[in-house]
């Protein structure tokens, strides 16, 4: 298991404020640090959840993306259990 952690910033598309993110990728493959850095540096803006989905598409593995959005801490886990429902 390889674990990669990177910090980056992107703008909120709603109000243009800068948001600082921390991404953690858990994977069984080797990721090039330069590729990871270049990709997150190219993220200009986006909603937290959309950024998380795009990062999963790009790098795979299991990912956690965290940020503070206007006093609200958001943590996304990908892949996620969006379609899970509790038993009736």
Q: CA 11 to CA 17: how far, in whole Å?
A: 5
pLDDT tens per residue, range 13-72: 999 999 999 999 999 999 999 999 999 999 999 999 999 999 999 999 999 999 999 899
Q: Which domains does the chain have, with CATH numbers?
A: 2-78 (3.30.1130.10)
Q: What does the pLDDT read at residue 42?
A: 98
Q: What is the pTM of this model?
A: 0.87
Q: What does the pLDDT read at residue 79?
A: 86
40-43, long-range: CB < 8 A, 24+ apart = 40/6, 40/8, 41/8, 43/8, 43/10
pLDDT at 7 over 70: yes
């Amino acid at each position: 298991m390889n674990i990669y952690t990177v910090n980056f910033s992107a703008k909120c598309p709603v109000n243009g404020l800068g948001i600082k993110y921390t991404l953690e990728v858990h994977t069984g493959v080797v990721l090039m640090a330069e590729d990871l850095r270049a990709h997150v540096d190219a993220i200009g803006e986006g909603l937290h959840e959309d950024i998380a989905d795009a990062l999963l598409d790009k790098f795979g593995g299991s990912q956690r993306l965290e940020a503070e959005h206007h006093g609200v801490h958001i943590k996304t886990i990908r892949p996620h259990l969006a379609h899970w429902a509790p038993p009736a």
